[in-house]
């Protein structure tokens, strides 16, 4: 019979990878809580319109990467391709926008994008993210960046921070127009991908991997030189406060976010040791999204980090042997052994070996399975109502009465 396997780009998480997941989530959660964030969990399935409106129809995510279908009630729904939209929907639905608007949420969970898998990119992947609502000060942007720094430092991951400003509704459109007309002039010299980008996302042309495009566009207008007064001064403050916080960064004027809702501060943490998908966390400010989705005008800033992308960079501290392994030298004694082992359960990590084995094999087994104490019942012990215990770590052994055990 042909066996069934998991869908392309969707993996099982088990053993040491599952441990890493847990370790990463726990570390990130603790730090987010210290920054005043509380947990939010939103549905994996949402109305398709939510993502079309927030992520933006122009992006590939909405255009071709969504797991979209009609449910049995005929609703147009899809599996979430990212986390922010759902959180913003919930923020509005729970009327937080009308109750002052100051909320800080963290979340983690599965995201789905129908893409061709490659290193660091899966169809089912996991993100940890934070969204801070109601604070328009650029200092909050710094806080979000420092929060990520704390997480990566705690996980002992190396990274580089790239920042940019995308401007706001005042300065961005004019810049975009200028850029488009600049690109139109050079159209002939640019590659096919860039031709498409001029229509869909002109800023993306600026970091085209084609060398010819790079040289052609070296004198292109840069957004950071075309910011309005408020965006410009915020960007200056951002850089200054980051510097004073000891946070190294590099301004990347070509940095854009993949989702349409971002404005002002945009940032990305990248790693140079994980292949071509080098972004390990990304985020920025999205001041207009709440209003755009029908809520009361509320500024916001947030980020998401890709858990699978940092998996290979994280070393989980190796667990020491712990708990009790129970084994018997004769199946006659199994019932007694079972009762003694059961007593220990709930207090300790316990394995009761149900197969009779030689002492030699039991000790090997206990060690291999990561237990510290090997408790054995043989003929001597049963005769004296004792149990023999060896501490595999200290190599010491002891025979104690079953009652005292």
Q: How far is the CB of 107 from RNA (least distance, A)?
A: 13
How far apart (Å, rounded) are the C-alpha atoms in residues 266 and 148?
14
Q: Which is nearer to RNA, 231 or 304 (CB)?
A: 304
Q: How far is the CB of 73 from RNA (least distance, A)?
A: 28
Q: Which is nearer to RNA, 250 or 397 (CB)?
A: 397
Q: Which is nearer to RNA, 71 or 272 (CB)?
A: 272
The residue among 60, 53, 198, 69 whose CA lies nearest residue 121 is 60
Q: Which is nearer to RNA, 237 or 359 (CB)?
A: 359
Q: Which is nearer to RNA, 109 or 378 (CB)?
A: 378
Q: Which is nearer to RNA, 237 or 338 (CB)?
A: 338
How far apart (Å, rounded) are the C-alpha atoms in residues 65 and 147?
30
Contact between 371 and 321 under an 8 Å Cβ cutoff? The reply is yes
Enumerate the H helices of 293-384 as residue ranges.
Answer: 307-310, 334-344, 359-368, 379-384
The residue among 167, 178, 146, 119 whose CA lies nearest residue 310 is 119
Q: Which is nearer to RNA, 20 or 390 (CB)?
A: 390
Q: How far is the CB of 199 from RNA (least distance, A)?
A: 11
Q: How far is the CB of 204 from RNA (least distance, A)?
A: 5
Could you tell me the strand order of the sheet in which 263-270 lies?
A: 38-39, 103-112, 124-133, 300-306, 279-285, 263-270, 160-165, 250-251
Q: Which is nearer to RNA, 5 or 225 (CB)?
A: 5
The SS3 of residue 387 is: strand
Q: How far is the CB of 371 from RNA (least distance, A)?
A: 9
Contact between 305 and 28 under an 8 Å Cβ cutoff? The reply is yes
Q: Which is nearer to RNA, 225 or 276 (CB)?
A: 276
Instruction: Return the structure tokens found at 123.
Output: 């169809």
Q: How far is the CB of 90 from RNA (least distance, A)?
A: 19
Q: How far is the CB of 74 from RNA (least distance, A)?
A: 25
The distance from CA 217 to its chain's CA centroid, rounded to whole angstroms, is 34
Name the DSSP letter for residue 188.
Answer: G
Pairing of strands 300-306, 263-270: unpaired
Q: What is the 3-state secondary structure (H, E, C) of 281-293?
A: EEEEECCCHHHHC
> How many secondary structure helices (H) and strands (E) does the chain include?
14, 16
Q: How far is the CB of 296 from RNA (least distance, A)?
A: 25
Contact between 374 and 363 under an 8 Å Cβ cutoff? The reply is yes
Q: Which is nearer to RNA, 237 or 363 (CB)?
A: 363
Q: How far is the CB of 244 from RNA (least distance, A)?
A: 26
Q: How far is the CB of 4 from RNA (least distance, A)?
A: 11
How far apart (Å, rounded) are the C-alpha atoms in residues 366 and 11?
30
Name the site residues for RNA (rule: CB under 7 A).
5, 8-9, 59-61, 65, 82, 113, 115-122, 125, 127, 193, 196-197, 201, 204, 208-209, 256-259, 268, 275-277, 279-282, 304-306, 308-309, 321, 329-330, 355, 357-361, 363-364, 367-368, 376, 378-381, 388, 390, 392-393, 395, 397
Using alpha carbons, list the distances in angstroms from residue 405 to 168, 195, 264, 385, 401: 70, 77, 65, 11, 6
DSSP assignment string, 251-271: E-TT---SSTT-EEEEEEEE-
């Amino acid at each position: 019979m042909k066996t069934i396997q998991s869908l392309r780009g969707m993996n099982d998480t088990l053993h040491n990878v599952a441990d890493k997941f847990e370790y990463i989530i726990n570390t990130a959660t603790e730090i987010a809580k210290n920054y005043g964030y509380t947990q939010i969990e939103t549905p994996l399935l949402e109305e398709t319109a939510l993502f079309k409106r927030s992520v933006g129809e122009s992006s590939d995510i909405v255009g071709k990467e969504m797991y979209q279908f009609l449910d049995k009630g005929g609703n147009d729904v899809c599996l979430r391709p990212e986390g922010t939209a759902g959180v913003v929907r919930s923020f509005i639905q729970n009327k937080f926008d009308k109750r002052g608007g100051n909320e800080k949420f963290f979340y983690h969970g599965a995201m789905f994008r129908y893409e061709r898998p490659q290193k660091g990119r899966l169809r089912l992947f996991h993100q940890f993210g934070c969204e801070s609502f109601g604070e328009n000060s650029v200092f909050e942007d710094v806080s979000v960046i420092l929060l990520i720094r704390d997480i990566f430092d705690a996980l002992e991951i190396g990274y580089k921070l790239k920042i940019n400003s995308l401007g706001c509704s005042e300065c961005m459109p004019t810049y975009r127009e200028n850029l488009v007309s600049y690109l139109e002039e050079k159209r002939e010299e640019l590659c096919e991908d860039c031709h498409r980008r001029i229509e869909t996302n002109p800023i993306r042309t600026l970091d085209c991997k084609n060398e010819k495009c790079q040289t052609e566009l070296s004198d292109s207008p840069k957004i950071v030189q075309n910011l309005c007064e408020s965006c410009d001064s915020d960007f200056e403050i951002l850089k200054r406060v980051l510097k004073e916080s000891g946070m190294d960064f590099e301004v990347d004027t070509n940095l854009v976010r993949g989702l349409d809702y971002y404005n002002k501060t945009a940032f990305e943490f990248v790693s140079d040791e994980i292949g071509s998908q080098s972004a390990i966390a990304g985020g920025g400010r999205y001041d207009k999204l709440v209003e755009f989705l029908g809520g009361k005008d509320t500024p916001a800033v947030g980020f998401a980090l890709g858990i699978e992308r940092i998996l290979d960079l994280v070393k989980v501290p190796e667990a020491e042997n712990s708990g009790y392994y129970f084994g018997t030298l004769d199946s006659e004694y199994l019932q007694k052994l079972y009762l003694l082992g059961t007593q220990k359960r709930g207090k300790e990590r316990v394995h009761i070996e149900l197969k009779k084995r030689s002492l030699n094999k039991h000790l090997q087994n206990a060690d291999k399975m990561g237990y510290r104490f090997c408790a054995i019942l043989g003929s001597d012990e049963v005769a004296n109502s004792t149990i023999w215990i060896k501490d595999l770590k200290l190599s010491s052994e002891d025979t104690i009465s079953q009652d005292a055990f």
